[in-house]
Amino acid sequence: MCAGALGAAGCARLASKVSQRDPALPIPSGDIRPELRLLDRLTYGPRPGDSARVRGTGEEAFVASQLEADSPEDPGLLLMLARFDVLHLDSMELRDLPEESVQAQLQAISILRAVHGRNQLLERMVEFWSDHFNIYARKGLASFRIEQDESTVIRPHALGRFRDLLGASAHSPAMLAFLDNQQNRRGVPNENYAREIMELHTLGVHGGYTQKDVQEVARCLTGWTLENRFLRHKGAFRYVPELHDDGRKMVLGHVIERGGGESDGEAVLDILASHPSTAKHIARKLCSVFIGESDESAVHLAARAYADSGGDIRATLRPILEPRRLVKATPILKRPFDLMVSSLRALDCETDGGPALQAHLASMGQSLYQWPMPDGYPVKSSAWTGAMLARWNFAFALASNGIAGTNTKAVTKPFEAVFERHERSADQSILTALEGADPQERAALCLCSPTFQWR
């Protein structure tokens, strides 16, 4: 049911207005101002006043500042984050807490950082790499290891060099356990991580590797396991020489001579990170997130930038985030997390990111850290068109202050970041409905509109 102070009658009236639209939520055909398109693509959507700031600084300067990601964090955000145990305890200490509590804290932290983080492109890239190197929280002890993975693997390297990111992930206890490499040993190799590091993390499914390459990479990574000895830091990365296959290996045409030990795995990471297929795979995935439609010229330029820069992620992003390219790009349907965060930002909400908000995220289909496959939540718009009612319910509840722990500030004032995108929109049915609506209805209708649901 639609929640909150709108009431049954108001909810029915709004639902009727929204349902007059094509239920498939058509792509909006109206013009969106260039700064709004940039804000939608580089950030989690504008907050009141953001559009004016981008117009004042200029589009190129805005993109450059987001790529630098050097703004000091909001002290208010840091204060909010300080209350979460998962940011202060290591993975062993966290096991004293209920797993559900740890997972709820992880989701709340992600929501708060996305809503309030000043370095918005960095937050988007943290989400991108968290999907790229996906870890399912409900497998084994992953819930207790994910925060360490994000703080030591994803966040520090999200705009750095891909080889450093790949190497940090390959040493991550959360990743090694999720993809079973702690079971990979001489004589009985486990190929799970070896396959995914090529298919998903680097080369791509059509990247030119063979089953023999999978087997050889698995041999190179034997002995990369987790600490389990008495009075040691259990669960930390550990290389065990006696478990390693030290024979000669051949990976993607490169000979790895016998006797290399742990360096065999490092050699594999070097080969994969510098491979042309990896450059193309990473470039294509980044284009799909920031541009949407297949833009082969952008893929080519980004892949070349990756290769020329030695896998520098900022350099790879620059041709993709060129303002003229983004402004002309076709809309991308917001995934549930994106929709939730952009709504909170547009309505200038205060939130604890807690269970009530997370329940709406779950109903829309994207509970964080809950995707069981190693490929991460899908990006294609077609994957997210089956939960429109849940999206509308969220919009109605948010606009009416019907979500516990979340407060829409000053609901009687115009919501600039929501309404301004309709000024040149062809979504005439929404514009007509706004004319006679009260502030809560106006906010809900705008959040439900195709113009807001797509970015």
* pLDDT confidence of residue 455: 87
With 0-12 / 13-18 / 19 or more C-beta atoms within 10 angstroms meaning exposed / middle / buried, residue 241 is exposed
Q: What is the DSSP letter of 15?
A: H
Residues 252/213, Cβ–Cβ less than 8 Å = yes
The secondary structure element, H or E, covering residue 225 is: strand 224-226
Query: What amino acid occupies position 421?
Result: R
Length of the chain: 455
User: CA of 358: how far to CAs of 46, 110, 153, 282, in Å?
Assistant: 22, 11, 25, 30
Measured CA to CA, the distance from residue 222 to residue 184 in angstroms comes to 5
DSSP 154-170: IHHHTTSBHHHHHHHHH
Residues 352/115, Cβ–Cβ less than 8 Å = no
- The least confident of 32-46, 103-117, 433-447 is 433-447
Query: What amino acid occupies position 50?
Result: D
Measured CA to CA, the distance from residue 429 to residue 182 in angstroms comes to 57
User: CA of 209: how far to CAs of 46, 117, 266, in Å?
Assistant: 42, 39, 18
* pLDDT confidence of residue 292: 87
Could you tell me the pLDDT band of residue 129, with boundaries at 50, 70 and 90? very high
Measured CA to CA, the distance from residue 117 to residue 72 in angstroms comes to 9
For 264, other C-beta atoms within 10 Å of its C-beta total: 26
3-state class of 394 per DSSP? helix
Q: pTM value?
A: 0.93
The pLDDT tens digits of the residues spanning 435-448 come to: 777 778 888 888 88
Decide if pLDDT at 5 tops 70. no
279 contacts: CB under 8 Å, gap ≥ 6: 303, 304, 306, 307, 311
Measured CA to CA, the distance from residue 271 to residue 187 in angstroms comes to 24
* pLDDT confidence of residue 42: 97
With 0-12 / 13-18 / 19 or more C-beta atoms within 10 angstroms meaning exposed / middle / buried, residue 294 is exposed
* pLDDT confidence of residue 23: 45
Percent of the chain residues topping a pLDDT of 70: 87
* pLDDT confidence of residue 9: 41
CA 38 to chain centre: 17
With 0-12 / 13-18 / 19 or more C-beta atoms within 10 angstroms meaning exposed / middle / buried, residue 292 is buried
* pLDDT confidence of residue 24: 56
Decide if pLDDT at 96 tops 90. yes
* Sequence spans of domains, the chain: 7-28+331-453, 75-273
56 contacts: CB under 8 Å, gap ≥ 6: none
Query: What amino acid occupies position 402?
Result: G
Residue carrying structure tokens 């919501």: 415
Question: In terms of Cα–Cα distance, which of 454, 440, 430, 433 is closest to 347?
Answer: 440
Decide if pLDDT at 424 tops 60. no
Residues 237/93, Cβ–Cβ less than 8 Å = no
Q: Is the dihedral of CA 346, 352, 353, 356 positive or negative?
A: negative
Backbone region of residue 5 per phi and psi (left: phi > 0; alpha: psi in -120 to 50; beta: other values): alpha
Measured CA to CA, the distance from residue 151 to residue 110 in angstroms comes to 12
The pLDDT tens digits of the residues spanning 210-224 come to: 999 999 999 999 999
For 59, other C-beta atoms within 10 Å of its C-beta total: 18
Which of 20-29, 163-172, 398-407, 433-442 has the highest average model confidence (pLDDT)? 163-172
Residues 5/401, Cβ–Cβ less than 8 Å = yes
Percent of the chain residues topping a pLDDT of 90: 75
- The least confident of 250-264, 273-287, 385-399 is 385-399
Angle at 348 between CA 342 and CA 351, to 5 degrees: 85
Higher pLDDT, 13 or 382: 382
Q: What number is the average pLDDT over the span 293-315?
A: 94
* pLDDT confidence of residue 437: 72
Decide if pLDDT at 365 tops 60. yes
Decide if pLDDT at 26 tops 90. no
Could you tell me the pLDDT band of residue 358, with boundaries at 50, 70 and 90? very high
Decide if pLDDT at 22 tops 50. no
- The least confident of 8-17, 48-57, 142-151, 158-167 is 8-17
Question: In terms of Cα–Cα distance, which of 447, 441, 383 is closest to 417?
Answer: 447
* pLDDT confidence of residue 89: 95
Mean pLDDT rounded to a whole number for the chain:
90
Decide if pLDDT at 411 tops 70. no
Could you tell me the pLDDT band of residue 450, with boundaries at 50, 70 and 90? confident
Residues 313/162, Cβ–Cβ less than 8 Å = yes
Decide if pLDDT at 4 tops 50. no
Residue carrying structure tokens 């360490």: 148
Decide if pLDDT at 266 tops 80. yes
With 0-12 / 13-18 / 19 or more C-beta atoms within 10 angstroms meaning exposed / middle / buried, residue 104 is middle
Could you tell me the pLDDT band of residue 151, with boundaries at 50, 70 and 90? very high
User: CA of 418: how far to CAs of 28, 100, 198, 344, 431, in Å?
Assistant: 15, 34, 42, 11, 12
Q: What number is the average pLDDT over the span 109-133?
A: 98
